[in-house]
Chain A
Amino acid sequence: MKNRNALIGFVIVSIVTTLAIAAPWIAPYDPATTSIRLFEGPSAEHWLGTDQLGRDIFSRILFGARVSLIIGAGSAVVAGIIGVPIGLAAGYLGRTVDMMAMQFINLFIALPGLVLALIIITMTGATMLNIVLVLGFVAWPGVARLARGQTFAIRESVYVEAARAVGGGTAWIIIRHIWPNIFRLVAVQLATVVAFAIFTSSSLSFLGLGVPPPTADWGGMVRSGVDYLSVNPYMSLAPGFSVAITIFGFYMLGYREE
């Protein structure tokens, strides 16, 4: 069951990634080129029709995949860089370090990530780099909590004790003996961070506060199509479906039985 979920996720994520990388070669049109054929429905030339500026929706979705994946992957890297060391330290050192770290982690986990992200991004400017940094910062406590829990679980295992017995220092034990053993689970958790980041960044764009136009971005495309739902529903529904299926892929990849 678990493997089947991961396989479905892997297939979806691979397809989306391939399409994103190959976008410049497979997209039939330039994503920013406008034309006089506005609000057209799907046809042989425009597979998903055209938007309010006559741009090809299918091409824009392909290029939008790049934006989503870069933000998703970037945020996961940032969350990992902040969360993993804190989780490892809290789990291995325990006591005061652990208590302080957990206090902080629990406080941050309860906060509304989107609200926080909205304020910080408005203050610093909505560039891709800022969005990646902010979303990574909002997502780190989840990663830290998992790393801490896993470290805690294997801290007392025999091989760690052996490493300690031969005189291994704290840093050496954490890097050489604990990290390799929790790496896989942390990587799985990072897939859900990617899902969260794509979810949140597309919500930001939908609210008009994410990656600024004319960049082809899924959330922004949904936003601009809302007013034309009865004219050409593909303007909103097609990019919205792309967001949903991508999030679904990463979610399945990162799904764990609790």
Chain B
Amino acid sequence: MLSLIVRRLLLGIPNIILISVLLFFTILGALGSPATLMLGLDATPERILELERQYGFDRPLYVQYIDWVWKALNGDFGRSYATNQRVVDALLPRILPSVELALLGMIVAVTTSVVFSSITVGRRIVQPVVNILSLIGITVPNFMLGITLTYIFSVVLGILPTSGWAPWSAGIFEHLLHLILPVLTVAAYYFASFGLVYRAEYRATSRRLYIQVARAKGLSESAVSFRHILPNSILPVITQVGSSLGQLAAGALVAETVFSIPGVGTLFTSALLSRDFPVFLAIGMITIVSVVVMNLLADLLYVAANPQIRLD
């Protein structure tokens, strides 16, 4: 068990280095000068040279990469070009809202998809509704979903706030009220994709002998479904959660913009719009590396949860 975890980690670390090198070299090397990007096309060559020296873009790429990573590991991501604020200071207060949104979205998606697919009472009515919601979740882009929900619940019905963010200090009720629509927006797609995976596994499990035994000994359909089929069908959903994290980062980014949530996503888009290179480089690298790390962790969790694959 331990040796397997160590082996996976040893395989994972080169992946993380590879992806960060690839990203850094493409962004700084292949896509044009960051200095030109930040100054605009009509910048004088002298000004570009000056900025390149100031940010160290005139050094060889591998030196820049090692320097960037070394500083990043020490918590220094440079300074914002637009505001001259330290990137860390701009980033830190924004992490909590983003993580909260993503986490709640995942929790809502997993519980609703699993519970709604396991319900046995009134299945004839519940299943078609679940199917339609799944189709909506998969095919309607996040921004459209967010706006439609805002229109229905805030503009027409007027029962939920349109956008914005209430910090915890504003009271837990106010806080959660502002989170309902964003969380639903983020969760919709995963509700659909987890549901697909879960129902396939659910069908396979319900044909097993021990399920027949559970029925034969007189358990109610509900008890069979929730106590016997559910725990034995949920593992693929956990794997799916792990491999969805990359898409989740993107989905949360759009939802943050729709609902003006002061998270990492809105900082990222505003940095892109203002061509603030140090900021979006830092967020891009952190996001992508953490996605790879999370995948690795999900992989390990899967190994820990399933004794069958520990043999290897």
A residues adjacent to B (C-beta < 8 A): 103, 107, 109-116, 118-120, 122-124, 195, 199, 202-203, 206-209, 219, 222-223, 226, 229-230, 233, 236-237, 240-241, 243-244, 247-248, 251, 258
Contacts and interface: CB of A to CB of B under 8 A. Distances in A.
B254 to A, nearest CB: 6
B99 interface: no
B150 A229 contact: yes
Nearest to B257: A207
B15 interface: yes
B243 A244 contact: no
B272 A209 contact: yes
Nearest to B138: A251
Contacts of A109: 243
Interface residues of B, number: 48
A174 B285 CA distance: 38
Contacts of B162: 229
Nearest to B156: A233
Interface in B91-148: 135, 138-144, 147-148
A213 to B, nearest CB: 14
Contacts of B269: 118, 207-209
A206 to B, nearest CB: 4
Contact of B147 (A110, A114, A207, A236): A236
A213 B250 CA distance: 23
A237 B151 CA distance: 9
B139 A114 contact: no
A1 to B, nearest CB: 12
A255 to B, nearest CB: 10
Interface of B is mostly: helix
B18 A241 contact: no
B272 A122 contact: yes
A226 B154 CA distance: 13
A219 B143 CA distance: 9
Given A222-B147, A229-B151, A236-B147, A115 B273 contact: no
A215 B91 CA distance: 34
Contacts of B27: 119-120, 123
6 contacts: A112-B250, A122-B280, A202-B141, A219-B143, A229-B162, A240-B141
Interface of B: 15, 18-19, 26-27, 31-32, 37, 135, 138-144, 147-148, 150-151, 155, 162, 196, 200, 243, 245-250, 253-254, 257-258, 268-269, 272-273, 275, 280-281, 284, 287-288, 291-292, 295
Given A112-B247, A237-B148, 5 more contacts: A107-B15, A112-B249, A206-B141, A226-B258, A229-B155
A118 B246 CA distance: 14
A206 B142 CA distance: 10
A65 to B, nearest CB: 15
Nearest to A202: B141
A240 B26 CA distance: 33
A250 B253 CA distance: 24
Query: A-B pairs with the 6 shortest C-beta distances?
Result: A114-B250, A240-B144, A123-B31, A248-B139, A112-B246, A206-B143
A109 B26 CA distance: 18
A248 B135 contact: yes
B287 A115 contact: yes
Contacts of B15: 103, 107
Contacts of A208: 269, 273
Nearest to B197: A258
A222 B144 CA distance: 8
Contact of B275 (A112, A122, A195, A223): A122
A244 B141 contact: yes
A82 to B, nearest CB: 15
B291 to A, nearest CB: 6
Contacts of A233: 151, 155
A76 to B, nearest CB: 17
Contacts of A123: 27, 31-32, 37
A233 B152 CA distance: 10
Contacts of B144: 222, 240-241, 243-244
A113 B250 contact: yes
Nearest to A226: B147
